[in-house]
Amino acid sequence: MARASRRLVRNYGHDLRLIGTRRGRLFLVVLLALYLWLPFQLDDFWASVLTLAGITAIGALGLNLLTGYTGQPSLGTAAFIGLGAFTASYCGRPEDYGGLGWSFPAYLGVAILLGASVGYLVGVPALRLRGNYLIIATLGLVFVAIYIWRSWEEVTGGNAGVPMPIDVKIFGLNFTSLDVFGETFGRNQGFFYLVWAVVALVALLCKNLVRSRPGRAFQAVRDRDVAAEVVGVSLFRTKVGAFVLSSAIATVGGVFYGIWIQYLVPDDSSLGLNLSISYLAIIIVGGVGTIYGPIIGALLIGAMPALIDEFAGQLPFVSSSATDSGISKPALQTLLYAILIIVFLVAEPNGLAGIWRRVRDYFATWPLAKRGS
């Protein structure tokens, strides 16, 4: 009984603590140790898989602010991923490759500003839309973006694509060739450190935001927007602000996506509807309206493209070329996204985060929970 009572919230200050339990602080220490230790153990492939999962977690956290906390569904994430990637390419690649040769912090800052600005331009007209109409409008944004990327050859290279920045340097550290304790990491191992550090920063930002007054306004608009407006919540500031923040965070994910992929072609396979659906699948499978849910979902869904590309060819029903019979790898990827979305919406709407909460609460209240069952 005493163990269960320690988890009770006794006052408002206790409720607002970022990490409220000793077990949570211990778990954070374990995660930090794992973060420092993993790149020494991972080969290039698995470092690439986990790095891609971290990149998708950044964009999923941004989408979760918009969809999970503000209740505005969107299929336009791929447009902002492309915006971040091509901004990084044009501003960051050397002048010999037709770029501006800016440093990583400079083109990352420009990408964030552009993402926030476009998010504002999208958010204002989206005030009049909700539900399926908003989904269709944001889906149209993806096709408009692809048309712009294909037409703006100076920045994107058109249908031929464009190379991404070669080096990622911060305070003299090059994360594409990182030296740690006398050991030189490969590109993926070094990039792993930077990407997951940014995931932690974005998660901390989102966690603090949803516990603040604007975050409570987000959730009030999600639950009852008319009632929220009656009690003084500005729908304009709240909904447009959610679009601005979500778009800026997704653009950060796009910057890292471009750097990770190294050469990006503006087509449907890389920046189309399938990419937007993958982000929607991440927050549904991980848990809508939670901070750790998109990270869990990204570890499962975000790594799927790399795993399918590496291992799906061994399956008998997957075709290895366009002339073979069977399902293609992109089609298999889309099929798996659809199955996971349907299964979790029907069987577990709260996603993996909901399953984790039930397991955690069961053991936290044991044996009382056992007697109650």
User: Got the DSSP string for 168-192?
Assistant: -EETTEETTS-EETTEE--HHHHHH
Q: Is 147 in contact with 268 (CB distance < 8 Å)?
A: no
In tens digits, the chain (373 residues) has pLDDT values of: 445 455 556 665 566 666 667 777 888 889 899 998 888 888 888 889 999 999 999 999 999 999 999 999 999 999 999 999 999 999 988 888 778 889 999 999 999 999 999 999 999 988 888 888 888 889 999 999 999 999 988 888 888 888 887 778 888 788 877 776 666 777 888 889 999 999 999 999 999 999 888 889 999 999 888 888 888 888 889 999 999 999 999 999 999 999 998 888 888 878 888 899 999 999 999 999 899 999 999 998 888 888 888 777 677 777 766 556 678 777 888 888 889 999 998 888 889 988 888 887 777 777 665 554 4
Which of these, 196, 203, 234, lies nearest to 62 by C-alpha position? 203
* pLDDT score of 99: 83
In angstroms and rounded to an integer, the radius of gyration of the C-alpha atoms of the chain is 21
* pLDDT score of 232: 86
Per the structure block, which two tokens stand in for 282?
């991440």
Full set of structural domains in the chain with CATH: 2-9+20-372 (1.10.3470)
Tell me the one-letter amino acid at 207. K
Residue whose token pair is 């997957």:
318
* pLDDT score of 297: 93
pTM of the model: 0.89
Q: Is 258 in contact with 108 (CB distance < 8 Å)?
A: no
Tell me the one-letter amino acid at 364. A
With 0-12 CB in 10 A as exposed, 13-18 as middle and 19+ as buried, what is 121? middle
d(CA 260, CA 331): 23
Q: pLDDT tens digits for 146-201?
A: 999 999 888 888 888 888 877 788 887 888 777 766 667 778 888 899 999 999 99
d(CA 282, CA 119): 21
| Parallel, antiparallel or unpaired: strands 263-264 and 183-184 | unpaired
* pLDDT score of 332: 82
Dmax over Cα atoms in the chain, in whole Å?
Answer: 71
Q: Is 99 in contact with 89 (CB distance < 8 Å)?
A: yes
Which of these, 254, 280, 238, 239, lies nearest to 114 by C-alpha position? 254
**Other beta carbons within 10 Å of 110:** 20
d(CA 291, CA 287): 8
Which of these, 303, 282, 251, 276, lies nearest to 353 by C-alpha position? 282
The helix or strand, by DSSP H or E, that contains position 196, with its residue range, turns out to be helix 187-210
Give every CB contact of residue 67 below 8 A, 6+ residues apart in sequence. Answer: 73, 74, 280, 283, 288
Residues making up the chain, counted from first to last? 373
With 0-12 CB in 10 A as exposed, 13-18 as middle and 19+ as buried, what is 152? middle
* pLDDT score of 279: 94
